[in-house]
Amino acid sequence: MSPSTPWWRDAVIYQVYLRSFADGNGDGVGDIAGLRSRLPYLKSLGIDALWINPWYKSPMADGGYDVADFRAIDPMFGTLADAEQLIAEAHRHGIRVIPDIVPNHTSNQHAWFQAALAAGPGSPERERYIFRPGRGPDGAEPPNNWASCFGGPAWTRLPDGDWYLHLYAPEQPDLDWRHPDVHTEFESILRFWFSRGVDGFRIDVAHGLVKDPELPDLPPESAGKASEEHIQHPHWDRDGVHDIYRTWRTIADEFDGDRAFVAEAWADTPERLAAYVRPGGLHTAFNFDFLMASWDAKDLRTVIDDSLAMLNGVGAPATWVLSNHDVMRHTSRYARRTVARWVPNQRYQPQGPVDLDLGTRRARAAALLMLALPGGAYIYQGDELGLPEVEDLPEDVLQDPIWERSGHTDKGRDGCRVPVPWSAKTAPFGFSPEDATGAPWLPQPPNWGERSVEAQTGDETSMLELYRTALRLRRENPALGDGTMTWLDSPAGVLAFRRGLGFVCVVNLSGEAYPLPEHSSVLLAGGPVEDGVLAPDQAAWLAV
């Protein structure tokens, strides 16, 4: 990493899902006070920035992605003053702060939606959202066949007869980005937070803002999914979204420091993804192809090559991500002997026996792979502890709207949101203070303490110390981070590449032991390297 590289080209960004990270006030829900108390931990982990999931005032129908007021912090998390203090303290630790912004929809409790409900059909207040009459003789059929990403139709009917669109839960009405108020309001929200010192934003559903004004039906076979002819899709990844982000870029550039955006944009191809990060557009976008790849050398190599080719083509850095608050934790994903490639627009629900030792070995190798690739990387809280998905949460504790909306066929995303274990003792494992009045909002497994920060600290074989060492080496080695990579010859099933002149990363995804190429020392390895041989599902960083 050269000192002149803008930070966002190769930052390691740690994702904080606030309600599950650390509970400062003892009510069983994580909050800003808890996060502030853990900043020294994050500093010692060696990350560059925090991405914080929505902290705004919200009725929490979708964990805060249903925002009622973008300029207020939800009392569950703290106050605006707490947020300002967090930003200042993080900066003192040399850690940047990126909140989430949610421009595709608001909460149904947002003042605009409440005004639209009160004003009635045909009113100007309804034009900020997507209200339509229904189809059929008495308007009892939804305006089109679009489906909610959480299950069921994307339309809800009001008692006054109008229907409104929600690509997610009914509590999350979609905004109409053809309305000038929507543009000015979000531009003002960006300035509100930029002037409070945030270093950028993660843009939620960045690919969803612009809809085909005709709201045409989707072909029946792909209702609710992205179609093959992606450009024609009536609500995903339409070219018009880029006009919005060009304006947002000029706003970020008005502020001093290097403010940066990262788009959550699910695009069908690396070309479509690269369009978000062209010059004058957003800075970075999550590269979900990496997360969706199977545990297979050929598949991973194709994803890496295609992503780098497309992003380099527009001058943007790559980002690499293995897990987040929406997907099965990768320790569990990799714990199935055969890891299926993720099918876009479908929930990932692998079946079959779970071998967490295998998943953990692969997760260690995947971390070394990710942190050696050119560009930036995301760590989801608990990745560094090797937390698995909690797949056996009792049904009566589930809170993700997917559980209800899927008619209880999909348990949803709560399994990757279980509160973090900090100490080894008993539940709540340091997540809440000793005198807490509330239990953690999701129950932690009885053995959660074995994976706690306390249990892993100082244990050289732990996932936590692997991450700490990897992040330290990455900071110290100018060949890592932004830049180029060169593949080295290796047998099928083995990935080997060079960064700079003196650094090589080798990942063994084959079923056979692999003799490491010539090297002067092993800088770091996922497991013991005996006689210069890398065991299956292991990775190593070499000095050459």
Write out the catalytic residue numbers: 204, 254
Q: By CB under 6 A, name the one of 67, 86, 102, 516 that touches ligand NOJ.
A: 102
**Residue 178: closest CA among 261, 241, 246, 117:** 241
- Output 264 or 482, the one with its CB closest to ligand NOJ: 264
The verdict on 67 binding ligand NOJ (CB under 6 A) reads: no
Residues 178-207 that bind ligand NOJ (CB under 6 A): 204-205
Least Å distance, CB 292 to ligand NOJ, is: 15
Got the DSSP string for 247-279?
HHHHHHHHSSS--EEEE----SSHHHHHGGGST
Q: Provide the Cα torsion 102, 223, 108, 81; round to 10°.
A: -20
Got the DSSP string for 10-36?
T-EEEEE-GGGT--SSSSSS--HHHHH
Least Å distance, CB 325 to ligand NOJ, is: 6
Residues 483-542 that bind ligand NOJ (CB under 6 A): none
Tokens, residue 386: 């090797």
Q: How many residues bind ligand NOJ (CB under 6 A)?
A: 9
Return the exposure string of 506-527: e unless at least 16 CB atoms fall within 10 Å of the residue's CB, then b.
bbbbbeeebebbebeebbbbbb
Q: By CB under 6 A, name the one of 77, 163, 164, 168 that touches ligand NOJ.
A: 168
Per-residue contact string for residues 18-47; x = within reach of ligand NOJ by CB under 6 A: ------------------------------
Residues 426-485 that bind ligand NOJ (CB under 6 A): none
52 bridge partner residues: 16, 99
Tokens, residue 231: 């450009």
Contacts of 365 (CB under 8 A, 6+ apart): 507, 508, 509, 526, 537, 538, 539
Does residue 515 contact residue 532 with C-beta atoms inside 8 Å?
A: yes
The verdict on 268 binding ligand NOJ (CB under 6 A) reads: no
Least Å distance, CB 391 to ligand NOJ, is: 19
Beta-strand ranges (E) seen in 47-174 are: 49-52, 56-57, 69-73, 96-101, 131-132, 155-157, 163-165
Residue whose CB is nearest to ligand NOJ in the complex, by number: 65
Contacts of 277 (CB under 8 A, 6+ apart): 263, 283, 284, 285, 311, 314, 316
Cα–Cα dist 123/127, whole Å: 7
Cα–Cα dist 202/291, whole Å: 18
Q: What are phi and psi of 118, to 5 degrees?
A: -70, -35
Burial label for 72, CB within 10 Å (0-12, 13-18, 19+), is middle
Please tell me the number of Cα atoms within 13 Å of 362 on its side-chain side.
Answer: 25
Cα–Cα dist 117/114, whole Å: 5
Least Å distance, CB 527 to ligand NOJ, is: 33
Q: By CB under 6 A, name the one of 31, 62, 268, 384 that touches ligand NOJ.
A: 62
- Output 62 or 82, the one with its CB closest to ligand NOJ: 62
- Output 349 or 484, the one with its CB closest to ligand NOJ: 349
The verdict on 65 binding ligand NOJ (CB under 6 A) reads: yes
Cα–Cα dist 321/331, whole Å: 13
* Alpha helices per DSSP H over 125-217: 180-194
Does residue 42 contact residue 93 with C-beta atoms inside 8 Å?
A: yes
320 bridge partner residues: 377
Least Å distance, CB 47 to ligand NOJ, is: 20
Residues 299-328 that bind ligand NOJ (CB under 6 A): 325-326
- Output 264 or 384, the one with its CB closest to ligand NOJ: 264
Tokens, residue 145: 């066949």
Cα–Cα dist 435/465, whole Å: 30
Cα–Cα dist 24/382, whole Å: 18
Per CB under 6 A, residues contacting ligand NOJ are: 62, 65, 102, 168, 204-205, 264, 325-326
